[in-house]
Amino acid sequence: MGALASQEEVLRALDCGLLTAEHGDFGYRHALLRDAALADMPEPRRRGLHEELAAALRGPAAEIARHLRLAGRDDLAAGRLARAARDAAAVGAVDEAAEFLREALELRPGDPSLTVELAAAEAYSGRRVAAEEALRMTLELLAPSEHAERGAVHARAARWYSGALCRPSETMSQARRAIAELDRAEGVDPAQLASALALGAWGAAVTGRVQDADALLARLATLDVTDPDVACELANAHAFRALETGVRSREVLQPGRWTTARRQAGPHERGRFRHDHIHGGLQRQRAARGRQR
């Protein structure tokens, strides 16, 4: 409040009953008082105050975005909504993240940095069709010559195909596209390439393409990457590769290696980095092959 009004002005508003303060938060005593105060204020002044409040706030990005929209600053609101989406996704609120991103895209249509995040949010919400549509839009918005950006998008898709949607064939397909694009790009992040290789190896192992998995794992071994999410993806790939070739589970699931990688992994990776996930995936894999026979 100190950035918007003097202490005396705040105290007068509290004394006359216009405002109330609880636990350090200020607000109108009643919604009708707020509506009356706003209705009595000229539109330019109201917009200016919303912009001042947005600049002064240090709270949630979604709240700042609301004031920016009320101030008519949609250009700035889109960025804050994207930040609100990241904050929501970080705590697993993927439905809320998707809503923030859809609103941001209304303000900034055709922004691939928003559509790729929307694709991920839709995927982690289990909405495959919506995720694939957002993925398609993202790739259409990127030029064919933008190899690094296109590779990053395919790598993101491979990650959510392997985890949230659990579609090994699509994981392998997206990983291969990511690798192809990243190989043509300059200044590639090694962790990004390593992730695509690990995810591709996982997809290949799960679908019975052990030689393809080995080739990807061999290339990955030449990279010096310590990213914990990549360590998780790599452990999953090695586990499914070993299970595919008949190695006993206790030899695959080495306690120290797995516990360390899982503890260091990000939230999305940690959720699928479990022994029961591996065994369940192997059972589904064998059942699918039995139906194919």
Q: pLDDT per residue over 161-195, tens digit each?
A: 998 899 999 999 999 999 999 999 998 899 999 99
Mean of the per-residue pLDDT values of the chain: 80
Q: Which residue has the higher pLDDT, 133 or 264?
A: 133
Asked if residue 4 has pLDDT above 90, the reply is no
Q: Give residue-wise pLDDT tens across range 24-78.
A: 566 666 677 666 666 766 677 767 776 676 777 777 888 888 888 888 888 889 9
Rounded average pLDDT over 90-112 = 94
Rounded average pLDDT over 139-155 = 97
In angstroms, rounded to a whole number, what is the distance separating the alpha carbons of residues 271 and 165? 13
For residue 209, give the nearest of 236, 237, 233 by alpha carbon.
Answer: 237
Q: Which residue has the higher pLDDT, 272 or 57?
A: 57
Rounded to the nearest angstrom, the gap between the alpha carbon of residue 116 and the centroid of all alpha carbons in its chain is: 9
Superfamily name and number for 44-49+58-141: Tetratricopeptide repeat domain (1.25.40.10)
Asked if residue 132 has pLDDT above 90, the reply is yes
Rounded average pLDDT over 274-282 = 50
Highest mean pLDDT among 75-84, 85-94, 137-146: 137-146
Contacts of the segment 142-149: beta carbons below 8 A, 24+ positions apart: 142/112, 147/181, 147/182, 147/184, 147/185, 148/181, 148/182, 148/185, 148/186, 148/187, 148/188, 149/112
- For residues 65, 94, 263, 154, the Cα torsion angle rounded to the nearest 10 degrees is -100
Q: Name the band, by pLDDT with cuts 50, 70 and 90, for residue 209.
A: very high
For residue 85 the two structure tokens come to 């989406």
- The residue ranges of every structural domain in the chain are 1-40, 44-49+58-141, 155-275
The lowest-confidence range among 125-139, 146-160, 227-241 is: 227-241
Q: Name residue 155's amino acid.
A: A
